[in-house]
A and B are shown apart, each in its own frame.
Chain A
Amino acid sequence: IAGITQAPTSQILAAGRRMTLRCTQDMRHNAMYWYRQDLGLGLRLIHYSNTAGTTGKGEVPDGYSVSRANTDDFPLTLASAVPSQTSVYFCASSPLGAPYNEQFFGPGTRLTVL
């Protein structure tokens, strides 16, 4: 693994179903993030984690939950998917304390909720 991996690459999901998007990084970064990308809206932060064992809410957290059991993994769960959650989801990471605050992004998961 080099960098950040996300799975699945794409998924079609029936409304009301539960779904977990996976994210793994091998850079030993402390901080990790989940964004959703929607046309005309750019990327919006869903949840973040500054270090293993802690999480926080971003700009659009409703309907999503996260956990951070270890440094490398940061799964995003949709407990009961709705069509408005159709989007492209990006996971990112950064080294905590980096003065330039650069983030590194995964390739994304394209999710369609019908």
Chain B
Amino acid sequence: GNSVTQMEGPVTLSEEAFLTINCTYTATGYPSLFWYVQYPGEGLQLLLKATKADDKGSNKGFEATYRKETTSFHLEKGSVQVSDSAVYFCALSLRRETSGSRLTFGEGTQLTVNP
């Protein structure tokens, strides 16, 4: 079956620190990979995505590279801000152009950035 494993949290950093949140996956087939972010009291929002091996997704200073050889999609940001405090979810979806998407999520990683 399909599964996503994220590094255990919570993660607490100081402002301007470097962030890495690890994500690995298992899948039958060739999945699309996503990072979603959930700010306090809100629903999930797509942060970035990658659809094939070696693709790099990026948005708002965050980056993640689809690594097929290590089945990983680690999230990185060079300098975090207090406003980045949120829960981050790694997810995969098998490419299904006619039957809709079925997202499989990791457990989520709580990030707190202190000023």
Interface residues of A (CB under 8 A from B): 4, 30-31, 33, 40-45, 48, 50, 58, 90, 92, 94, 96-108
Interface residue? B61 (CB, 8 A) = no
**Chain B neighbourhood of A105, CB < 8 A:** 36, 43-45
Per DSSP, chain B at the interface is: loop
In Å, the complex CA distance between A101 and B45 comes to 13
User: Of residues B49, B100, B105, which shows the largest number of chain A Cβ atoms within 10 Å of its Cβ?
Assistant: B100
Near A by CB (< 8 A), chain B positions 78-115 give 89, 93, 95-103, 105-108
The 6 closest A-B pairs by CB, nearest first: A101-B101, A105-B43, A31-B100, A42-B105, A101-B93, A50-B100
Asked if B44 and A99 make an inter-chain contact with CB atoms under 8 angstroms apart, the answer reads no
CB neighbours (8 Å) of A96 from chain B are: 98-100
Report which of A33, A50, A92 forms a contact with B99, defined as CB distance below 8 A: A50
A112 and B89 CA atoms in complex are apart in Å by 24
Complex interface: chain B residues within 8 A of A94 (CB): 100-101
Interface status of B24 (Cβ within 8 A of chain A) = no
- Contact residues of A: prevailing secondary structure: loop
Do B98 and A42 have beta carbons less than 8 Å apart? no
Q: Which among A4, A40, A102 is the interface contact of B107 at CB below 8 angstroms?
A: A40
CA distance A94 to B96 in the complex (A): 12
Q: A99-B97, A105-B45, A106-B43 are in contact. Are A45 and B103 (CB under 8 A)?
A: yes
Question: Other CB < 8 Å A-B pairs besides A42-B106, A48-B100, A101-B95, 15 of them?
Answer: A30-B100, A31-B101, A33-B103, A41-B107, A42-B4, A42-B105, A43-B44, A43-B89, A101-B103, A103-B46, A103-B103, A105-B36, A105-B45, A107-B41, A107-B42
Q: Are B101 and A42 in contact (CB under 8 A)?
A: no
Name the B residues within 8 Å of A30 (CB-CB).
100
Are A97 and B43 within 8 A (Cβ)? no
Q: Does B34 contact A (CB under 8 A)?
A: yes
Contact for A108 among B43, B46, B100, CB less than 8 A: B43
Residue pair B42, A98 in contact (C-beta under 8 Å): no
State in angstroms the CA–CA spacing of A22 and B41 once bound together: 18
* Cβ-closest chain B residue relative to A96: B100
Hey, which chain B residues are within 8 Å of A90, CB to CB?
A: 43-44
